[in-house]
A and B are shown apart, each in its own frame.
Chain A
Amino acid sequence: MAAGRLRTVVSRVAQAIPVVIGVVVVTFLLTRMLPGDPAAYFAGAAADAQSIAEIRTALGLDRPLHEQFVFYVGDLLQGDLGQSISTGQPVAVELARRLPASLELTLLALLLSCAVALPLGILAATRPGSLADHACRVLVTAGVSLPTFFTGLALIYVFYYLLGWAPAPLGRLDFVYLEPPRVTGFFLIDAALIGDWQTWWGALRQIVLPAVTLALFTLAPLARMTRAAMLQALSSDFVRTARAAGLRRSTVLYTYAFRNALLPVITTLGMVFSFTLGANVLVEKVFAWPGIGSYAVDALVVSDYAAVQGFVLTMALLFVALNLLIDIAYTLIDPRIGFDG
C-alpha cells in the first residue's frame, strides 16, 4: 500500500511538470503584453530618450522576445528567478522572506476559522432551523459580506486607536524586537524554537488582528460547507442504519457522519487557502504586513517582469503541492478513494 502510494505521488508530481512549463510560458508572455514600459518607468521622471535607451539595454529589454525567454528559462533552471527592479532585491530572496509571512498569517487565520466554522457548521446541521443555525447564518453572512479592508480598518480603529489594546499595525514585529533567527520564517515558530517568549508574544500580538480579519472572511465558505455536508451525511442511509443499530450519538455524529462530511470540507479548505494566500493583499496593505500579495501587486503596477513571473510561478508550485496534499488527505480520510479512480 505504502509503495503504491509513493508511486502515485511520484506520478502526480510528474503530471505537474507540464503545468509548470505552461505557467512559465504564459506568465512570460502575459507580462510582456502588459501595456507599461518598464524602461521608461525606471528611468525616472526627468529621463530623456537616451537614458531610457541605456536603461532598456541594461535591463536586456532591447533584445528580441525569444532571446529574452531563453535567458529567462536558463536562469530559471539554475534556480535564479531574476532581480526585481522595483525593490532592487533578487526575486527568490524576496519571495523566500515574504512567503512565510503570508503563509503564517493565512494558516493562522484558517486555523482560527476552522476552530469556529467546523463546530458551528456541525451545530447548525444537527439542529437545523434552531437559534444556533440562525446565529451561524448571520455570522457567516456578515463575515463574507464585509470587505476585508473594512473589517481590518474597523478592528484597528476599535482595538488600537480607541482602546489601545492592540499594538500599532506596523507589520510582523514592533521595531523594538529583533527578528528571531530564521528557521522556518514563521516568527511564532522560530521564536518558540529558541524559547524567546518576549518576541513570541510580540509577534502574536501583531498577528492577532490581521488573522481575525482574514478568519472572518474565510469563515463563511467553511461553515456553510460543513453544514451542508453534515446535513447530507446525517440524512444518508448509513447514518440511519447506525442510529437504528443503537450506536451512541457521538459515535454516529463524529465517526460516521463527520468523517464522511469531511471530504467536501477539505476540498473547500484547499480552495479557500490558495485563494486567501493570493487575495489577502488588502489585509496585507492595511496591516503593513510584508507578504507576497502586496509584493505582487506593487510589482504589477510598475511592470516589474521578474517579480511578477516569480510570484506567479511560486503560486503555481504552491497550488500543485496543495492539490497533491489534499489528494493524499482524501485517501487518508476515505480509503475507498484511489488516485487513479
Chain B
Amino acid sequence: MTENSFSRAAPSRRSFLQMSGAMAAGAGVLPFLKVLPASAQADETVVVVTGQTINSLDLHRTGTNRASYQVAVNCYDRLVSFGTKELPDGSLSYDYATIVPELAESWEISEDAIVFKLKPDATFFDGTPVTAEDVRWSFERAVSVGGFPTVQMKAGLLEKPEQFEALDEHTFKVNLLRPSKLTLPDLAVPVPIVLNSALAKENATADDPWATEFVHQNTIGSGAFRVVRWDPGQQLVYERNDDWKGGPLPGARRVIVREVPNPSNRRALVVRGDVQMSFGIPNKDAQELADNPDLEVFSTPIENCIHCIGLNYAFEPFQDPDVRKAVAYAIPYADIFQTAAYGRGAPMWGGSGEIESIAWPQPFPYATDLDKAKAHLDKSGYASGFEVPISISIDLDWMEPTALLLQESLAKIGIATTIEKIPGANWRTAALVEKRLPLHLENFGGWLNTPCYYFFWAYKEGHLFNSSNYANPEVERLVDETLHMPMDDPAYAPKIKRLFEIAFEDLPRIPLWQPALNVATNGATGYEYWFHRQLDARGLARS
C-alpha cells in the first residue's frame, strides 16, 4: 500500500486538491480523495473486492446486470425495507418476515389499497425534498421501461401506472388489483426505488422519456450512499450521505468496490488485509479460509434457491416415472456436494419423506442407492438403458464437476451420457426459453421467499424456470390458489404440503443442494446477507 502518497510536504497537485477539496466539502459531488487526509480516510474507508462487473448505475435500464443492483440498494431508498435477524451461526441476515420503514414512515393496508405516509424530512442528494410525486413517477418508470424491472413489479401485482397515486405532498397510495401477500415484500426488493423525478425529467429526451441515459451515469436518489466515482470495469466509489433518513447512518464514510477478475488475487488481497472484504468468494476458498484466524468467512445458504437436475418431460424416457426415480436414486449426492460445493450450503437429499413443515427448500426423500435405482430402471420401459446428453453451461462453475460425477454414476445403471457444454450467452435460450435440454443442470432462486413463489416460476407450465416442460393441472391449480394467499391462512399449509408431495413424486427437478453465498472479511464488520446476493454497504464499518 502507499501510505507515503499523502505525506510529502512539497506542494503537489494532490495536496493542492486536498486543500481545495477541504474548502469545497459539502458542495455536492466531490471528486475522489480530496476531502480527508489519508489517515482519517483509512479508518472510515472499507475496500471491497469482487469478481463481478458493475455495468450501470440504473437498475431500470435495459442491459443492466445483476452486479449493478447493489447501486440501487446502496444509493436509493424504497418505501419499505426488510428487517435484520441473527442466524443460528451468529451472522446477520435480512428478515423476510419483518417489513420496516425506509422512505415511508407508516402505512395502512386495506382491502383495495395501501396508503403510505412518507417521512417529511427526507431529501434527495441535491437537497430537494422527497415527495409522493417522486414515488409515483419512479413506480411508473419501473412498470413502464420493460424488461426485468417490469417483470419483478408484476410479481407483486404492480402492473399499471394508474395503480399509483400521489394524494398529497407526503401521502402515496398504491391501488391493489387484488390483495396479495407478495405486494408489500415486492416493494422492499431493489427494483421499486425512488428517484429524483424533477432532476430526471430535466435530463429526459423524446427518445428517452425515463432518462435512463442520465440515471445510468448518475445516482439521483435519497439513499445511504451516493456514487462519487465510477470507472466501469475497474471500481465504484460510494460516499456516505450524511443526511440519510432511511435508516441508521452507515459506519463507513466511504466504500470502494474494486473489480478484480482473478479469484486467487482476491483471496491474496483479503488474506493480506489490503482489502477489508472479498464478496462472493468461491466455495473452495470459503472452505479453506474458514480456519484462518485473521478472517471471518460467512457462508449463508441462499434462501429459496436450489441447484438441481432437470429431467425434461419432452424427452420420452423421462415421461416414465420409474426412469425419473432411477435417476434420483443414482445421483451421488454427497460426492457432488463435496466436490462441486466444497460442502458449503445445505444438502437437499435424504429426507424422510414426511412433510412436517412448509419450510422450503427441504430435502427430497431420495439418497444414493444404486440397487434401488437399478430396480426402478428394470421396472420401467427402458430396462436396457438409453442414451442422453447432460447439458451444462460453461459459465457456471458448479456444473462441470456435478455433470462428471453424475455421468459416472448413471453409467453404472446403464444410462449412457455425453456432456454437452453450452456457452453462457446461449444457455438461457436453450435451457429456459426453448426448454430443449433433455437432462440438464438448473438453478433458480426466488427473491420473494415463499414456497408458492418458487413453484410459480419453476413448476407451472410454460413458466421460465420450468425448464423440464412439466405440466400438471393440480400443480397449476394449487399454485394459483396459494400465490397471493396469506401464509397464515389455514388453507395455505395443506395446499403447499400437497405441492411438495407432487414435486417429490413427479421429479421434474431433482434438488442437489441449496447453494451458499460466501463472503470473507478482514477488518470490516456489519456484513449482512441479502436475498439479492449483492453488497449492502449500509451496515459496513471498519473494525
Contact = CB atoms under 8 A, between A and B. Distances in A.
Contacts of B216: 88
Contacts of B63: 42, 55, 85-86, 88
A71 B491 CA distance: 58
A298 B424 contact: no
A36 B426 contact: yes
A41 B64 CA distance: 11
A153 B264 contact: yes
**Chain B contact patch, size range:** 35 or more
Contact of B233 (A58, A178, A198, A295): A295
Interface in A156-211: 156-157, 160-161, 164, 167-171, 174-178, 194, 196, 198-199, 202
Most buried by A among B4, B262, B464: B262
A47 B464 contact: yes
A86 B55 contact: yes
B147 interface: yes
A290 interface: yes
B2 A89 contact: no
A176 B33 contact: yes
A177 B5 contact: yes
Contacts of B269: 168-170
B254 to A, nearest CB: 10
Interface string A288-305: 101000110010011100
Interface string B408-433: 00000000000000011110110001
A162 to B, nearest CB: 10
Interface in B204-239: 216, 231-235, 237
A196 B16 CA distance: 12
A241 interface: no
Nearest to B31: A178
Nearest to B216: A88
A178 B268 contact: no
A48 B151 contact: yes
B173 interface: no
Nearest to B267: A161
B395 to A, nearest CB: 8
A40 B424 CA distance: 11
A129 interface: no
B294 to A, nearest CB: 14
A47 B148 contact: yes
Contact of B65 (A86, A164, A169, A170): A86
Contact of B261 (A85, A164, A285): A285
User: Interface residues of B: mostly helix, strand, loop or mixed?
Assistant: mixed
Interface string B249-263: 000000010111110
A118 to B, nearest CB: 32
Contact of B53 (A178, A194, A199, A298): A298
A301 B260 contact: no
Nearest to A205: B2
A88 B13 contact: no
A67 interface: no
Contacts of B433: 37, 40, 49, 52
A175 B235 contact: yes
A196 B12 contact: yes
Contacts of B65: 86
B6 A176 contact: yes
Given A34-B425, A40-B428, A161-B272, A198 B5 contact: yes
B151 A40 contact: no
B268 A157 contact: yes
A54 B62 CA distance: 10
Contacts of B258: 170-171, 175, 288
Interface in B107-151: 146-148, 150-151
> Which among B61, B65, B457 has the highest number of chain A CB atoms within 10 Å?
B65
A35 B425 contact: yes
A176 B146 CA distance: 40
A89 B232 contact: yes
Contacts of A290: 231, 233-234
Contact of B425 (A37, A45, A49, A288): A37
A189 B4 CA distance: 21
A160 B32 CA distance: 26
A160 B424 CA distance: 33
A177 B1 CA distance: 11
Nearest to B446: A46
A108 interface: no
A89 B303 CA distance: 34
A58 B216 CA distance: 16
A4 interface: no
A125 B75 CA distance: 64
B56 interface: yes
Contacts of B233: 87, 98, 290, 294-295
Interface string A84-110: 011111000010001000000000000
A58 B145 CA distance: 10
Interface of A: 34-38, 40-49, 51-52, 54-55, 58-59, 85-89, 94, 98, 153, 156-157, 160-161, 164, 167-171, 174-178, 194, 196, 198-199, 202, 285-288, 290, 294-295, 298, 301-303
| Chain A to chain B: the 6 pairs with minimum beta-carbon distance, closest first | A36-B425, A44-B148, A54-B146, A85-B63, A42-B63, A88-B56
Given A37-B428, A51-B151, 8 more contacts: A85-B63, A86-B65, A88-B63, A169-B265, A170-B260, A176-B6, A199-B14, A288-B265
